[in-house]
Each structure stands twice: as structure tokens, then as C-alpha cells.
Homo-oligomer: A and B are copies of this chain.
Amino acid sequence: MSGVLSGKRVIVYGVGAMGAIITRLLFEKGVEIVGSIGRSPTKVGRDLGDVAGLGKTLGVEVENDPDRVLSRGADVAVVCVSSYLDAMHDHFARCLKHGVNVVTIEEETVFPWTTAPEHARSLDALAKENGVTLAASGAQDVFWLNLVTTLLGASHRVDKVVGHCTWNVDDYGPEVANHLHIGHAKDEFDRFVATSGWPEFVARQTLEALVSRLDLSVKSISSDVTPIARSEAIYCGSLGVEIPPGSMTGTVDRTVVTTREGPQFEFTMEGRVYRDGETDSNHWQVFGEPNLQLSNSEASYRFTTCSTLVNRIPDVIGAAPGLCSLDKMCTPSYKHR
């Protein structure tokens, strides 16, 4: 059912913060790392073990020519480059053309059929042509999709499902903090959203995958974002500045999905700069018969995005060819080796 990791031939495609964590996990699981792709001049040409801070070399050079690395072949490429399918399409296509399966932390690929339908269809076709699979995973795979669908296996009647998670902005570097307007005024943010819009993101893809997994059909989808602030100052490590009281420390992104069959789904993601001691949380309530509830107090989303992705490698290798959105994937499982 689960397959094993050890001995699988893997290319690390993207050697940023997440790629570095994943490299260590792959190494510790006995995976054979056969290539590594990066862009930064400070990393290209160096050994991957060195770049990933393993304290040892792996005999794998970080190269900046993806086609050359991919042409040597591999079971799967672990792709950690960017968060939207528009930016990732060509990276994925390149892997698939070389007959290499792809597993990625790129969030839109979790369920890309409605937000990026053309990219999704072309990548699906390309994957099928080449007999390989493209799939995304990450913390949402376990915490926001599969734990929830498994819990619902105990439901007789589902009226409404309400999820809420918190994540630490400081876990993801200055780009994410700036994207969320950390340190800005709330009314300025509201004006920005009113004029420029705000991307629907992880919450939407997660709920669409959830609804599809349950064999329900979407009637409506709506999303909103609310800026949050604290009454006391807080230090933002990723920006290296203190955020004064009243200025933005994060956002609450909410998506609501209604279905033709009746059950309704709401998921709120609260991303903010944490105080010392705060941990990533996950909380879901099911209203229906019976009422059900599930909580995780230590979800460690940054790390579990990497560990879940690594556990997915044998699943992706074993999946049918095509773009396999998470609703169609088997349940994630622990791979001891």
C-alpha cells in the first residue's frame, strides 16, 4: 500500500529554505539524490549537502541547467521554486517532458482545475503523454484535507464544516511578510485590496479538493481577507523590524464553499507574526449528526510541508499518469524508510 522511499532516485529542483530541509530528510531516508537544480550564483557549482547545511557533502553538484540534470533521468523531481502555477508551469513541463515524475509544494497544483484551468489541462496532457505524474503536497495534504475527510468518515449528516488554522509569517522569509503588508496600516491594506484585489490561495484549493473528494459539487465560492493588528508592539524576525501597535501583523484569509447537495465548508487561515511560544494550530468543527471536532496544537507547518512531501514520493511514483490533484491521491502515510 505505502511503498518505500529508500533507493528512489530523486532530483532536488530548487534549493531554497524548503529545498534545504527536504534534502536532509531525503538523505536521512536513504533516498538516492541524483541531481540538484538551482539558480543563485551563491549556490550553483557547490555540493548540495553543503548548500543545504548538512555538514557533509553528498557528491551532488547544484547545477543551473535543468534540462541537463533532468536528461540524466530520475524517478521523481522534488520541485520547490514558487507558489503559483503560472510561475511554475515551465518548470513542471520541463520535468514531465524528460519523463520525470514531479512532486511539488506549489500550492495551486493541489487543485488547479478552476483557478488555472489551461495550465492544469496542458500539464495533465503532457504528463499523460510522457507516462508520469504531477502532484502537489504539503501541510495541507495531512492537516486541512485528509484529517478532515477521515474525520468525516464518522459523520452521518454533514451540515457545515468550519476550519481554522494559524501559521507564523516569520517562518517564510521577507517575501511572504511583504506580500502580507506586515507593518503597514490596516486601512491602507483595505484600500490596496479594494483596488488591486487579493489572490485566492491555499484555503480555496484545499476546500475545492475536499469537496471533490467527498463527491459533492461546488455551488458557490467566496473569499475575503481581513488585516489583523495587535495592541502591543511585536518584533518581526523575517523583516528585522519591530511592528508598532496597531500596524499590520498578519491577515485572515477566509474561503466559503457551498455545495449543490447542501453541506457548506468554511476555512480560515490566520497568518501572523507569532509571539514567543506560539505554535501552528489546526482546528476543525463539523456541524451535523453528530457534531465532531478535531484539533492539532503542534502542526509545524513549515516542517510538515517538507516531511509530507517526502512521504508522498512513493505515492506519486505509483500514481496513474497525469496531473493528480490531491482529491484523487491516496491518503498520505508514513514511510519509515
Contact = CB atoms under 8 A, between A and B. Distances in A.
B146 A153 contact: yes
A267 interface: no
Interface in A129-175: 139, 141-143, 146-147, 149-158
A223 interface: no
Task: Give the interface size class of chain A.
Answer: 35 or more
A83 interface: no
A307 B155 contact: yes
Complex copy number for this chain: 2
A1 to B, nearest CB: 7
A304 interface: yes
A116 interface: no
B153 A311 contact: yes
Contact of A293 (B1, B139, B297, B308): B297
B331 A331 contact: yes
A47 to B, nearest CB: 22
A306 B216 CA distance: 23
A215 B333 CA distance: 10
B150 A146 contact: yes
Given A1-B213, A298-B292, A331 B153 contact: yes
A334 B153 contact: yes
A261 interface: yes
A289 B304 CA distance: 9
A295 interface: yes
Given A294-B294, A296-B294, A334 B152 contact: yes
Contacts of A332: 150, 153-154
Given A153-B308, A153-B311, A156-B306, 18 more contacts: A1-B328, A2-B214, A142-B151, A146-B331, A154-B299, A155-B307, A155-B311, A155-B334, A156-B303, A156-B307, A156-B310, A214-B333, A263-B336, A289-B303, A289-B307, A291-B298, A293-B298, A294-B294
Interface of A: 1-2, 4, 25, 28-29, 139, 141-143, 146-147, 149-158, 213-216, 261-263, 289-300, 303-304, 306-308, 310-311, 328, 330-334, 336-337
